[in-house]
Amino acid sequence: MSRTHHATPVPIDDEEPPRKVTVGKVIAVVAFLAMAVFWAWAFNYQLTNQGEKDMLDRLDDLAWTPAADDICQLAHDDIAQLTPAHEAKDADERADTIEVATARVEQMLVQLEQIAPTGDSRDARITRLWIADYRVFLADRLAYADAIRDDPQARFVVTEKYGSHITKPIDRFARVNEMEACMSPGDV
């Protein structure tokens, strides 16, 4: 006796069953979109320099800063004409170069004070603080020039402010106020 099996035909369906939307999938998609929007905003914020415009050192009125940038550029051009301090033949020549360059930067600060905001405005106050910081940096330069006359191996030590070199707030102020030529010189 032979047994025959009759197979029941199973319909072949090429369509996939509908996917289920789960809470986890929704949370993942929302989180992904939120991160994408955040990074798009962050990149745009940086690329448009909005971050610098929102800084506390940003002046309300930049009317004087193009002239300031020109004054600073002239000072940097003059300093660039000097023999670089690191190419000096001895410590005395290096110290002399640093002193001459520092005197030129001091002259630049005097010129800046003549065009900078005055009075009790916020712009005047933060500009005076910036120039005061700059003068501290100039004192550091002169102290270094004196130090290398006694010890050619002396290190250039810069005063700290806010846990870093004082040149950082000097340079930040110059940069955010569109006076990049007024950043601290790196000639030492």
- Average pLDDT over the chain, rounded to an integer: 87
* Cα–Cα distance, 151 to 160 (Å, whole number): 23
* Residue ranges of domains in the chain: 23-52, 57-182
Helices (H), the chain: 23-47, 50-53, 65-80, 91-115, 122-150, 167-176
Contact predicate 139/98, CB 8 Å? no
Q: 114 phi and psi, to 5 degrees?
A: -70, -25
- Judge if pTM exceeds 0.85: no
The set of residues, in sequence order, having a beta carbon less than 8 Å from that of 94 and lying 6+ positions away, is 85, 86, 88, 145, 148
Span 121-163, pLDDT tens digits? 999 999 999 999 999 999 999 999 999 999 999 999 999 998 9
Span 55-104, pLDDT tens digits? 678 999 999 999 999 999 999 999 999 988 789 999 999 999 999 999 99
Is pLDDT at 46 greater than 70 in this prediction?
A: no
